[in-house]
Structure 1
Amino acid sequence: MRSSFMPPRQVKIGDAAAFVGSTPRAIRHYHEIGLLPEPERGSDGRRRYGYEDMIRLLWIRRTADAGIALDDIRDAFATGTDSAGAESGEDVAGILERLEETLAEREAELRRQRAAVRRMRTEGSRTGLLSDFVTERLKSAPEGSLRQADLDSLLVTERILGPLGAAVQATRFVVLATHPALREESDRVDDAEEALDDGVAVDDPRVAQVAAERRAFESALEAVIEESGPGADDDALFDAWDTLHPAADGAGEADSVSAFEATGWMPYDFSPARLRCMELAAELAADPSARDNTAAQSYRAEPSS
Structure 2
Amino acid sequence: MHALPVPPRQVMIGDAAAFVGTTPRAIRHYHEMGLLPEPERGGDGRRRYGYEDMIRLLWIRRMADAGVALEDIRDAFLTGADSGGADSGDGVAGTLERLEGVLAAREAESRRQRDAVRRMRAEGSRLGLLSDFVAARLKGLPEGSLRQADLDSLLVTERIFGPLGAAVQASRFLVLATRPALRAESDRVDAAEEALDDGVAVDDPRVARVAAERHAFESALHAAIEESGLGEEDDALFDAWEARHPAADDDGGEAGLGSGGREAGSMSACEAVGTMPHDFSPARLRCMELAAELAARDAPAL
Q: Which residue of 2 aligns with 1:298?
A: none
Q: Which residue of 2 aligns with 1:216?
A: 216
CA-CA distance at 1:51 after TM superposition: 1.9
Q: Which residue of 1 aligns with 2:250?
A: none
Q: Which residue of 1 aligns with 2:140?
A: 140
Q: Does structure 1 residue 280 correspond to structure 2 residue 290?
A: yes
Question: Helix, strand or coil for the counterpart of 2:125?
Answer: coil
Q: Does structure 1 residue 157 correspond to structure 2 residue 157?
A: yes
Q: Which residue of 2 aligns with 1:263?
A: 273
Q: Does structure 1 residue 253 correspond to structure 2 residue 291?
A: no
1:30-69 mapped onto 2 (5 Å cutoff):
30-69=30-69
1:93-104 mapped onto 2 (5 Å cutoff):
93-104=93-104
- Would the aligned equivalents of 1:186 and 1:217 in 2 still touch at CA under 8 Å? yes
CA-CA distance at 1:150 after TM superposition: 1.2
Q: Does structure 1 residue 226 correspond to structure 2 residue 226?
A: yes
1:72-221 mapped onto 2 (5 Å cutoff):
72-81=72-81, 85-221=85-221
Q: 1:87 to 1:228 in 2, by over 3 A?
A: same
CA-CA distance at 1:217 after TM superposition: 0.5
CA-CA distance at 1:266 after TM superposition: 0.7
Which one-letter code corresponds to 1:21 in the other structure?
G
- Would the aligned equivalents of 2:211 and 2:290 in 1 still touch at CA under 8 Å? yes
Which deviates the most, 134-143 or 36-45?
36-45
Task: Output the CA distance in 2 between the equivalents of 1:29 and 1:69.
Answer: 13
TM-score scaled by structure 2? Answer: 0.86
Gaps of 5+ in 1: 291-305
- Would the aligned equivalents of 1:192 and 1:210 in 2 still touch at CA under 8 Å? yes
TM-score scaled by structure 1? Answer: 0.85
Q: C-alpha deviations, 1:195-239, integer Å up to 9, x for none?
A: 111111111000000000000110111111101164442233222
Which one-letter code corresponds to 1:95 in the other structure?
T
Task: Output the CA distance in 1 between the equivalents of 2:39 and 2:114.
Answer: 43
Q: C-alpha deviations, 1:238-271, integer Å up to 9, x for none?
A: 2211210121125423525333202321111111
Q: Which residue of 2 aligns with 1:297?
A: none
Task: Output the CA distance in 1 between the equivalents of 2:79 and 2:280.
Answer: 56
Question: Helix, strand or coil for the counterpart of 1:201?
Answer: coil
Task: Output the CA distance in 2 between the equivalents of 1:277 and 1:160.
Answer: 23
Q: Which residue of 2 aligns with 1:296?
A: none
Task: Output the CA distance in 1 between the equivalents of 2:115 and 2:86.
Answer: 38
CA-CA distance at 1:75 after TM superposition: 4.2
Q: 1:56 to 1:98 in 2, by over 3 A?
A: farther
Q: 1:246 to 1:225 in 2, by over 3 A?
A: same
Gaps of 5+ in 2: 248-255
Which one-letter code corresponds to 1:165 in the other structure?
G
Which deviates the most, 146-155 or 28-37?
28-37
Percent identity (aligned): 79
Which one-letter code corresponds to 1:249 in the other structure?
L
Q: Which has the higher contact order (CA 8 A, sep 6+)?
A: 1
Task: Output the CA distance in 2 between the equivalents of 1:4 and 1:170.
Answer: 79
- Would the aligned equivalents of 2:76 and 2:92 in 1 still touch at CA under 8 Å? no
Task: Output the CA distance in 2 between the equivalents of 1:186 and 1:269.
Answer: 19
Q: CA RMSD in A?
A: 2.6
